[in-house]
Amino acid sequence: MGAVTPSDRRVAVVTGGGSGLGRASALALLGAGWTVAVAGRRKDALEETTALAEADADRVLAVPTDIRSPEEVARLFDAVRDRYGRLDLLFNNAGAAAPRRPITETRFQDWNRVLDTIVTGSFLCAREAFRLMSTQTPQGGRIINNGAPSAYVPRPNSLAYTAAKHAVLGLTKVLALDGRPYGITCGQIDVGNVTPVDGAAQPAAMQADGTMAVEATIPVERFTDALLLMAAQPPDTVIQSLVVLPATMPFLGRG
């Protein structure tokens, strides 16, 4: 691949880019020739991601950001606009989890943290992406939201996470509709069990009958390949929904 010039530069923002799927996604996009701004709360983790990229310094930008803060999110997209002049892709990836508990034992602070990160954070980033994509030349861009099978079918005792991912699905649909006049597409990728990228053992998950079982996983490359496929579509095409699962993972009926 030849050198990327400003005229053919494709610019992406990846939230939650300091670890896990966010880091893997940022590295995959960089490997595919994208210019990537990685956002996350931990500066040291973002710097680790940029170091792993081994990309030209001009193609990767680390911007410490708490996506729950409107001011910090605005600064993130200002930094992208000031450095690169445009935005072609937002991958709303940042997430949060809460202990699996019945509703009577679900703590208010856990509910707030999960909803603030997954739902409010995705909204704030999408709002700034719309502002930039709708006014840049050429106009338009793409948003991909990181959903989950829980956007469709819940697990037991996962109230906050399930509610958040259902909200992301609704956000995806509205963004897809409202983006049409501006050439902005929006789709959602829903990934099942991915082999932990840190080498940890896959934890057991509660099944529909209340038992616990260790389920099948897929390598993270199955996820990043699917993400790159969605990101590479021409402006007149959108992959609206893409579910990527281990073939034997409980999903349909969670059984």
Among the listed residues 254, 212, 252, the one whose alpha carbon sits nearest the alpha carbon of residue 100: 212
- Give one DSSP letter per residue of 141-175, joined into a string: EEEEEE--GGGTSPPTT-HHHHHHHHHHHHHHHHH
Token pair belonging to 92: 């709303």
Token pair belonging to 249: 């993972």
Task: Strand 241-244: give its sheet, edge to edge.
Answer: 60-64, 35-40, 11-15, 89-92, 141-146, 184-191, 241-244
Which of 84, 152, 161, 182 does the annotation list as catalytic? Answer: 161
Among the listed residues 79, 92, 97, the one whose alpha carbon sits nearest the alpha carbon of residue 172: 92
DSSP class of residue 136 equals S
User: Is residue 152 flagged as an active site residue?
Assistant: no
Residues facing residue 189 across a β-bridge = 146, 242
DSSP class of residue 5 equals P
Catalytic residues: 161
